[in-house]
Amino acid sequence: PRAERVTSETLAEGFYRVHARYGFMEKPDVQDIIAICRERGMKLDVDDTTYYLGRTELLPTGPVPMMRWRKRLFAFMARNASSTTDFFNIPPNRVVELGARLEF
């Protein structure tokens, strides 16, 4: 059931914490989650919502004992994976990305 997958709690000063549960083969849709939250009485302005996402850049130069070609392949695959905004159907103009570099 669509509405049972979403739980939420109200935090301070207009912030909410929303948890949405999806199965492995299901594609999450943030716009649908927002619609469910609105149905439950949350006052959400989609045009004024900001999404904070993390981004990790993998550097295959660290001390992890893995063959060099495997590190490079893994970093290549991570670089070419679909973006988080596309995966979750988030409007790109509403996203703030916080990044980190990780040596492995």
Please tell me the pTM assigned to this model.
0.69
- For 46-77, write each residue's pLDDT tens digit: 888 889 999 888 888 877 787 888 888 988 99
Whether 11 has a pLDDT exceeding 80, the answer reads yes
Q: Which of 33, 23, 7 lies closest to 88, judged by CA? A: 33
Task: Read off the pLDDT of residues 22-38 as tens digits, 9 standing for 90 and up.
Answer: 999 999 999 899 999 99
SS3 78: helix
Average pLDDT over residues 87-102: 92
C-alpha distances in angstroms, 83 versus 17, 27, 50, 96, 97? 22, 14, 17, 13, 11
